[in-house]
Amino acid sequence: MTDASHQSWTRQVALIGATAVLYALAAWAGLAFVTVEGVAAPVWPPTGVALAALLLKGPRMAVGVFLGAAVVAFGPGGPLLFKVLSGLGAAGEALIGWWMVSRLAGPVGPRGESPFSSMNAVLVLLLAAIVGGAAHGLYGAAMVAEMGQVTWTAFRDVAIGWAVGDATGMLLVAPALLALNAARHDPPGVAQVGEGAVLLLCAGAGAAVVYGDVVGVRLDSHAVSWALLPFVIWGALRFGIGGAALVGSGLSLVAAFHAAAGAGYFQDAGTDGFVSLQVFIGMVTLTGLLLAAGDHERNAAQAEVRQLSSAVEQSAASVMITDTQGRLLYVNPKFTEASGYSAPEVIGKTPRILRSGHMRRDDYESLWSTLLAGRVWRGELLNRRKDGSLWWEHAAIAPVRDGRGRIIRFVAVKEDITERKEAESRLRATVEELQRSNAELKHFASLAAHDLQEPLRAMAGFAQLLRRRYGEKLDSEADSYIEFVVQGAEHMKALFRDLMDYSAVDVTPPGRDPVDLGAVVAQVRDAMSREVAEAGASLSIGPLPEVACDRRQLALVLHHLIGNAVKFRHPERPLRISVGAVRAGDLWQVHVSDNGIGIAQAHLKSLFVLFRRLHTRGAYEGTGIGLAISRRIVERHGGRIWAESDGETGTAIRFTLPDPASPAAERLAMVSLPSPGAAVVSSSSSQPPAGADAARVRVLEEDVS
């Protein structure tokens, strides 16, 4: 056993022992009240001690109740069987009360707050006292009758007296002990202690006069027995549950003590006086507890109302409350600030004073039909301020019902959205301007793709014609000049085409529909099959998911990445290219890996910069734009792209794209331009391309849906 567990068990044993001692002391004190057949008392304090112990420290304290009851039963020399049976009965009663209170009223609070702080909880305590007391009364009466303590003819009186005594003990003592425990966590102030002392002194003196023969005057009137009820009310209203319990239990115990001693109004022997005393104790206790609980609920409700009122007063939203006819009953300061009307100017009037004249009649009819049907209405309203200016509000208007379910009020909470509406208007104007610019850009791109490339095609064509017709008449230096012209024209065409692809990225809205990545990779593989075969490369494709991306732009990215792998292959080993993907939160991380020549660490960060080349054009062909296009496409779709390489064994290009079902894919809608005609502009010439260019055109134009 660890030290911690040993200390825990030691503490539990100590608590059980303390419970047994307290129960025994309360029982010996309660024996002073025993009147019916010598076995029943009008109030039995140990039941309250037992219930409080279990509520505060848990059901294990029932062991202490068992031990305390067993010790008290028939004194130190009583029969062992009777002791065991008495202990079992007391422990069972305590467990019944603990279970009912814990389940129906709730446990003791973290700072010792009593569970009996509401009227419903007090009624639960009453129910637990009745059920537990009845069970123990029947059990105890049968036990003492069987043991010969009383005759079976007295069974009914003993059972009733025992049950009611136990029940009153729970009602009196348990709330008082819980209140004393709570006072440890929240001690009363000096003034409150002084007032409490005065209350107890006055109540004690009054009890001695009314319930005893202290001054030699016997007060026999039944009404006089209730003369001290104001002290219970005083305790309930000024000190809450604890005050009501302490004063009520004090008065009841004094009355019971004098009755047992043959003094006071309840001194009559027999069942009548006994029952009258028990009814008195029960009524006084319940009156005090219910009054205190009701006052606590009222104070809590008032505190909540003050808190809510403060929140409404300080709210950044306008709040209005109307009756069912629409007449304004309340407006908060934010309403005054937003509308320009003061509260006295609008109270008693209807919200029609805010109408701008720009809302349709149908909108108001829909609003009222929704509210009168008992539903919440939400929508936007264009209202007019006192100075005549207009402002937009987003309103949520809800019906308020009374206890019988009838609609008695309407509460409107409204947010000023004027700035948002103005921003939306500006955004629409901007989008329209962008659409016009987009159309102009598409027209320019179409022109550039055909007319502006015509001189390049003519220059290359005439240079090739010159070489074919006059090649024999020209020397080798002239042939090299012609080759430079042809290569320059072809490079300019490729550069122009890549620039068109780069600019077209912003023309096409980011795709947010699901795209089968595996199908796109297969499409690119088929389009580049000749290049891959000529390089002697192998292309392996792993399991690939669906991603949120524009299909054609995704194909363009893969074409550039696989093309780079083919271009920068290692001359001394067969090229192996792999494509795969792994999940990374809301994104998919796609990789295109190869075992080519690799990239030095110093160049990894600049790899995706426009026109940045790591090799001369003589060593490797290219425009230096392909990876920049890939980066632009990926970032437009909410992802990022990067390269990993050790500089010797190859390169892995990785990029992320959203999962179609993720919030990241939903955010793509916020950056998409509403331009349904936008598309990637093909930069192909009127002549059919060949080689790698043909592969790329097939990738961009093939429908893979």
Q: In CATH, what number is assigned to the domain containing residue 373?
A: 3.30.450.20
Residues 284 and 391 in one domain: no
User: Is the predicted pLDDT of residue 238 greater than 60, yes or no?
Assistant: yes
Give the whole-angstrom CA distance, residue 468 versus residue 358.
77
Give the whole-angstrom CA distance, residue 31 versus residue 260.
10
**Exposed / middle / buried, residue 644 (Cβ in 10 Å: 0-12, 13-18, 19+):** middle
CB 178 within 8 A of CB 109: no
Residues 565 and 697 in one domain: yes
Range of the domain at 522: 505-701
pLDDT computed for residue 693 by the predictor: 46
The residue ranking higher by pLDDT, 394 or 218, is 394
pLDDT computed for residue 528 by the predictor: 84
Residues 117 and 24 in one domain: yes
Task: Give 539's strand partners.
Answer: 577
pLDDT computed for residue 4 by the predictor: 57
CB 48 within 8 A of CB 179: no
Identify the domain boundary among 390, 416, 442.
416
Q: Which of the residue ranges 113-127, 227-241, 330-344 has the most confident prediction, judged by mean pLDDT?
A: 330-344
Identify the domain boundary among 416, 444, 473.
416
CB 520 within 8 A of CB 553: no
CA distances from 366 to 78, 360, 378, 398 (A): 82, 10, 11, 14
Q: Which strands make up the sheet holding 641-645, listed edge to edge? A: 538-541, 576-584, 587-594, 651-658, 641-645
Between helix 45-57 and helix 119-146 the angle, nearest 10°, is 120
- DSSP, collapsed to helix, strand or coil, labels residue 252 as helix
Using pLDDT thresholds of 50, 70 and 90, give the confidence band for residue 91: very high
Give the whole-angstrom CA distance, residue 243 versus residue 236.
5
Residues 609 and 695 in one domain: yes
pLDDT computed for residue 692 by the predictor: 43
pLDDT digits (tens, 9 = 90+) for 36-61: 555 567 778 899 999 999 999 999 99
The residue ranking higher by pLDDT, 500 or 110, is 110
Residues 239 and 207 in one domain: yes
Using pLDDT thresholds of 50, 70 and 90, give the confidence band for residue 397: very high
Instruction: Say which amino acid occupies 578.
Output: S
pLDDT computed for residue 617 by the predictor: 46
pLDDT digits (tens, 9 = 90+) for 658-702: 888 776 555 554 444 433 333 333 333 333 344 444 444 444 444
pLDDT digits (tens, 9 = 90+) for 590-612: 998 888 877 766 666 656 665 55
CA distances from 205 to 79, 198, 208, 239, 551 (A): 42, 11, 5, 20, 94
Instruction: Give the alpha-carbon dihedral of 492, 498, 503, 509, to 10 degrees.
Output: 160
For residue 350, give the nearest of 332, 329, 378 by alpha carbon: 329
Q: What percent of the chain has pLDDT over 90?
A: 16
Give the whole-angstrom CA distance, residue 209 versus residue 251.
11
Residues 534 and 566 in one domain: yes
Residues 376 and 515 in one domain: no
In a domain, 467, yes or no: no
pLDDT digits (tens, 9 = 90+) for 518-568: 999 898 888 888 888 888 888 888 889 988 888 888 888 888 888 878 887
Give the whole-angstrom CA distance, residue 626 versus residue 641.
13
Average pLDDT of span 71-78 = 67
Average pLDDT of span 347-357 = 88
185-189, 406-410, 456-460: which has the minimum mean pLDDT? 456-460
Using pLDDT thresholds of 50, 70 and 90, give the confidence band for residue 2: low
pLDDT digits (tens, 9 = 90+) for 638-660: 888 888 887 777 888 899 998 88
For residue 96, give the nearest of 68, 123, 134 by alpha carbon: 134
In a domain, 461, yes or no: no
Residues 272 and 333 in one domain: no
**DSSP secondary structure letter of residue 681:** P
pLDDT computed for residue 94 by the predictor: 93
Residues 167 and 36 in one domain: yes
User: Is the predicted pLDDT of residue 357 greater than 70, yes or no?
Assistant: yes
CB 71 within 8 A of CB 20: yes
Give the chain's domain count.
3
In a domain, 43, yes or no: yes
In a domain, 456, yes or no: no
For residue 359, give the nearest of 349, 351, 370, 371 by alpha carbon: 351
In a domain, 469, yes or no: no
For residue 44, give the nearest of 137, 170, 149 by alpha carbon: 170
400-404, 448-452, 542-546, 689-693: which has the minimum mean pLDDT? 689-693
Give the whole-angstrom CA distance, residue 623 versus residue 612.
9
CB 482 within 8 A of CB 461: no
Q: Catalogue the long-range contacts made by 226-234 (C-beta closer than 8 Å, 24 or more residues apart).
A: 226/280, 226/284, 228/203, 229/284, 229/287, 231/199, 231/202, 231/203, 231/206, 232/284, 232/287, 232/288, 232/291, 233/287, 233/288, 233/291, 234/199
Average pLDDT, the chain: 77
Give the whole-angstrom CA distance, residue 161 versus residue 471.
133
User: Is the predicted pLDDT of residue 270 greater than 50, yes or no?
Assistant: no
Kindly report the CATH number assigned to the domain that includes residue 612.
3.30.565.10
- DSSP, collapsed to helix, strand or coil, labels residue 214 as coil
The residue ranking higher by pLDDT, 482 or 188, is 188
Please measure the distance between the N-terminal and C-terminal CA atoms of the chain and give it in whole angstroms. Answer: 69
In a domain, 484, yes or no: no
Which sign, positive or negative, has the C-alpha torsion 662, 668, 670, 673? negative
pLDDT computed for residue 38 by the predictor: 54
Give the whole-angstrom CA distance, residue 68 versus residue 30.
13
Using pLDDT thresholds of 50, 70 and 90, give the confidence band for residue 152: confident
The residue ranking higher by pLDDT, 284 or 112, is 284
Residues 329 and 289 in one domain: no
Average pLDDT of span 62-76 = 83
Q: What percent of the chain has pLDDT over 70?
A: 72
CA distances from 404 to 400, 401, 407 (A): 11, 8, 9
Residues 218 and 366 in one domain: no
Residues 275 and 379 in one domain: no
In a domain, 121, yes or no: yes
The residue ranking higher by pLDDT, 333 or 219, is 333
Identify the domain boundary among 302, 323, 343.
302
Average pLDDT of span 457-464 = 69
In a domain, 443, yes or no: no
Using pLDDT thresholds of 50, 70 and 90, give the confidence band for residue 74: low
The residue ranking higher by pLDDT, 110 or 456, is 110
